[in-house]
Structure 1
């Protein structure tokens, strides 16, 4: 495998294969697609484990927006209902279809979504499992190895 950030980082890591593969996938994705700028968004850190994504969705109704989470990928899709026969003299508010994707860590869950002042606000929480929290290891103490997570079936 070819890692853009060099082989040195691999020498001091154990068990980060999936993370390194995610970096490779991200690099390929950026290279293959042009930069998506619509609609604009913010990612906020609300607390130690709480985050929010704000997406500017002026002109959209809540029934024109679809939010899904699948395999740690949050996808927000907006589809404008073309029901108006209005003739615009100037149309400065962009209300075109869009798809916005965010990759979430395995421990991040979507808590809620709401529309406020033309913004779609998606609240996220990072739930760190007890097994992943730091532990103090006593010198001389023996700890029997245990399987933290069942391997995924192929």
Structure 2
């Protein structure tokens, strides 16, 4: 059975990569751990706006990573994806009578649009916050000359 793409319209040229990104995002959307928030924050709330950005948005991704230390977390940019990994090691010296808190690993990826800049990450009170800048795009208008052939 063939799949009909929303990007198969003849008016959408060169959007093959967008379709691949959407496929990747929908496959990874079923993961529920760790829970996260994405918020838009006002420029005056951001500690990163030291004159580096004029206009645009600041976005903050906050993940609930209780029980993870800074050394057990890894935040990286892989091509156009922000990837957050957490690795906890089992403590073999402990003997549990009840184990409700499991040592677990996770990987959460966010596909970033072109031009998004990662400003920094902070771990505080079991929450990992990553701030991103989305600069205001420049408006480009280019006149195309029309040649006349005889």
Richer in helix (by share): 1
Please give the alpha-carbon distance, in whole angstroms, between the structure 2 residues aligned to 1:24 and 1:143.
31
Kindly tell me: are residues 40 and 3 of structure 1, through their superposed partners in 2, closer, same or farther at Cα, counting changes over 3 Å? same
- Total equivalences in the alignment: 130
1:23 corresponds to:
19
Instruction: State the shift of 1:35 in Å.
Output: 1.9
* Corresponding position: 1:134 with 2:139: yes
Alpha-carbon RMSD across the aligned residues, in angstroms, is: 3.0
Instruction: State the shift of 1:21 in Å.
Output: 2.1
Instruction: State the shift of 1:6 in Å.
Output: 5.5
2:6 corresponds to:
5
Q: State the structure with bigger RCO (CA 8 A, min sep 6), 1 or 2.
A: 2
Please give the alpha-carbon distance, in whole angstroms, between the structure 1 residues aligned to 2:8 and 2:94.
59
Q: Conserved in 1, the CA contact under 8 Å of 2:37 and 2:62?
A: yes
Kindly tell me: are residues 94 and 120 of structure 1, through their superposed partners in 2, closer, same or farther at Cα, counting changes over 3 Å? farther
**TM-score of the two chains, using structure 2 as the length reference:** 0.70
**TM-score of the two chains, using structure 1 as the length reference:** 0.68
Q: 2:69 aligns with which of 61, 70, 93?
A: 61
Within 5 A, what are the aligned runs for 1:94-109?
94-109=102-117
Q: Conserved in 2, the CA contact under 8 Å of 1:52 and 1:121?
A: yes
Q: Conserved in 2, the CA contact under 8 Å of 1:52 and 1:122?
A: yes
Kindly tell me: are residues 30 and 84 of structure 1, through their superposed partners in 2, closer, same or farther at Cα, counting changes over 3 Å? same
